[in-house]
Amino acid sequence: MASEAAVSVMNASPLNASPLNARQSHLLDQLQAAGHELSGQDLHARLRSTPHCMGLATVYRHLRQLQQRGLVRCRHLPSGEALYAPTERDEHHLTCVDCGRTLPLRACPMHDVHLQPQQLDGFRLLFHTLEFFGICASCQERQDVP
């Protein structure tokens, strides 16, 4: 029997201390509207032709702040590029270490996972990234018959 309640990895509520500023809201809107992950460069390009246009440095600045509030998560592709998505979209991926193809997983296998408070050492959980790596079917074939 656990001495303390375990902490679901899913109940990481965003920090709502202060409201988002307009710039941050627009970035979050874009990420939500896109339906898939975007890089900092993508976001900058998408906003370029809108009234919410902002410099690249500002895009990165606000993405970092959104991340620190737990509203946005980012993952790195093997290429080094960072992709951002709203944390409310709990999507994770399977990536081929050979060709780099990436496949979204339909369900987050972490939904039922809990962490013990003593593992957290006072951390306030905001979000997690879970990525699987392997070799996709076509790269397996290519390797078998070179």
Partner DNA sequence: ATCCAGCTGAGAATGATACTCATTCAATTC
Partner DNA sequence: GAATTGAATGAGTATCATTCTCAGCTGGAT
What residues line the site for its own copies (CB under 8 A)? Answer: 9, 12, 15, 17, 67-68, 70, 73-74, 76, 78, 80, 82, 94, 96-98, 103, 105-107, 109-110, 113-115, 119-137, 140, 143
Question: Minimal distance in Å, beta carbon 53 to its own copies?
Answer: 26
The residues binding DNA (CB under 7 A) are: 21, 23, 39-41, 53-58, 60-62, 64, 78-82
Distance CA 108, CA 131 (A): 10
Which of its own copies, DNA, none is residue 81 near (CB under 5 to 8 Å by kind)? DNA
- The distance of closest approach from Cβ of residue 3 to its own copies in the complex, given in angstroms and rounded to an integer, is 16
Beta bridge partners of 95: 102, 133
Q: CB under 5 to 8 A by kind: which of DNA, its own copies, none does 19 bind?
A: none
How far apart (Å, rounded) are the C-alpha atoms in residues 48 and 9? 36
20 binds, among DNA, its own copies, none (CB under 5 to 8 A by kind): none
Question: Any idea what the Cα angle at residue 11 is, between residues 6 and 17, rounded to 5°?
Answer: 125
Q: Is 111 exposed, middle or buried (0-12, 13-18, 19+ CB in 10 A)?
A: exposed
Tokens of 30: 């874009």
- Nearest to DNA of 43, 136 (CB atom): 43
Q: How far is the CB of 105 from its own copies (least distance, A)?
A: 6
Token pair for 66: 């959104």
Least distance between its own copies and beta carbon 107 (Å)? 7
Contacts 24+ apart (CB under 8 A), 40-48: 40/82, 40/84, 43/84
